Chains A and B, each alone.
Chain A
Amino acid sequence: DAGVIQSPRHEVTEMGQEVTLRCKPISGHNSLFWYRQTMMRGLELLIYFNNNVPIDDSGMPEDRFSAKMPNASFSTLKIQPSEPRDSAVYFCASSPGSGGVPTDTQYFGPGTRLTVL
């Protein structure tokens, strides 16, 4: 199995630009999670989906952030416009359960390191 795939692995952009991060979950997994990791705030859950439907987006910092999951094999996290404080590592994770099983293991991708200048 290829695992969770994220692209790009590194992104450097200038303040005000639009940034799109992509994630392909493990085939057959029904839940998908987006996290942000920084030194100051640790690992934060931004949004998650069950069966392609957003369940909880309360962790999304502000309206500049949006996420979509148009089908079971693809999700995007978009930041528009980007700001220097958005610099972080963004992780995507998927888990098998349909409807979100509380004991499910989450499988993480390698992350996208975003730098906003």
Chain B
Amino acid sequence: AQSVTQLGSHVSVSEGALVLLRCNYSSSVPPYLFWYVQYPNQGLQLLLKYTSAATLVKGINGFEAEFKKSETSFHLTKPSAHMRDAAEYFCAVSPAPHNQGGKLIFGQGTELSVKP
């Protein structure tokens, strides 16, 4: 069965530092992968998604993620953290076979804190 594992439930960085949030997936077929962000007291919103085109995917707010099949990873990065990036980040996979109505399987989430 497909799944995603997010390494680290909490990550803390200083403002201006590199952000790296880790996600590894398990899938028997080429996966579709997503990163969503949840700001406090809000619903989730899409940051970016990998749909088997370019392996380096650029998203909103300066985030990007690279699909690495050899490492079964889809880590999220941002070169320079801003205070407004403090939120919870979820990695998700669309399970195969890819005819299951568009459902997603979410990871447990990583809470990002940004220190001034």
Contact = CB atoms under 8 A, between A and B. Distances in A.
Interface of A: 4, 31, 33, 42-43, 45, 48, 50, 55-56, 91, 93, 95, 97, 99-111
B43 A101 contact: no
A86 B77 CA distance: 35
B101 A55 contact: yes
Contacts of A104: 102
B44 A31 contact: no
Those 8 A-B pairs whose CB atoms lie nearest each other, nearest first: A100-B101, A108-B43, A100-B102, A102-B98, A102-B94, A55-B101, A103-B51, A108-B44
Contacts of B90: 43
A90 B8 CA distance: 24
B49 A108 contact: no
A50 B102 contact: yes
Interface residues on B, range: 20 to 34
Interface of B: 32, 34, 41-46, 49, 51, 90, 94, 98-109
A46 to B, nearest CB: 11
A50 B101 CA distance: 7
B102 A106 contact: yes
Contact of B104 (A45, A50, A55, A107): A45
Interface of B is mostly: loop
Contacts of A107: 45
B95 to A, nearest CB: 8
A1 B48 CA distance: 21
B28 to A, nearest CB: 15
B94 A48 contact: no
A31 B104 CA distance: 12
A83 B44 CA distance: 26
Which of A42, A45, A50, A102 counts the most B-chain CB atoms under 10 A from its CB? A102
Contacts of B46: 105-106
Contacts of A48: 101-103
Nearest to A55: B101
A45 B45 CA distance: 16
B20 to A, nearest CB: 21
Contacts of A106: 44, 46, 102, 104
